[in-house]
Amino acid sequence: MATMIKVRKEGAATSITPEYIKSKLFSFADLAQHFHLETKSFAEHKALQELYEGLNGFRDEIPEILMGYLNGERIGVVKIEQLKEYSQEAVRQLIADIIDFAYDVYEWAGDNKYCDIENNAQDLSGLAAKCGYLLTLK
């Protein structure tokens, strides 16, 4: 079995905070749903529906698990990013951003010994990768 080696970006995992994670999850879910509503492709519409529904689950589950690791401490204010104009390139960029974010969260969680956050980050990456595949279908 081949092993994938990914080199950590300098400072990527250390700049992550629970507030950043929560904010990105909310922003990703909103953007995916926005793109879902704007596309005129049925295949893309269905792929993005699966993505935003999965992201909705992660934006609830990951913060709850984080609060457990933080002994019940609340995460705080979410800073939602401005929605972008729909384009197929913007959709591809969203997929790439989610995969990069998931890897950074995975690294951060490992550094902090948050095992289940590592698991969820892997699942989040898989959700985005699957959507990327589905977007290749007609």
Tell me the DSSP string of 45-85. Answer: HHHHHHHHHHHHHHHHHHHHHHHHHTTT-------PPPPPP
- DSSP secondary structure code for residue 13 in this structure: G
The rounded distance, in Å, linking the Cα atoms of 24 and 114 is 18
Query: Would you give the end-to-end CA distance of the chain in angstroms?
Result: 31
What are the tokens at 89? Answer: 């390139």
At residue 5, the pLDDT reads: 47
Provide the 3-class DSSP secondary structure of residue 91.
helix
At residue 138, the pLDDT reads: 80
| pTM score of the predicted model | 0.89
At residue 10, the pLDDT reads: 55
At residue 4, the pLDDT reads: 45
At residue 8, the pLDDT reads: 52
- pLDDT < 70 stretches in the chain: 1-14
At residue 9, the pLDDT reads: 55
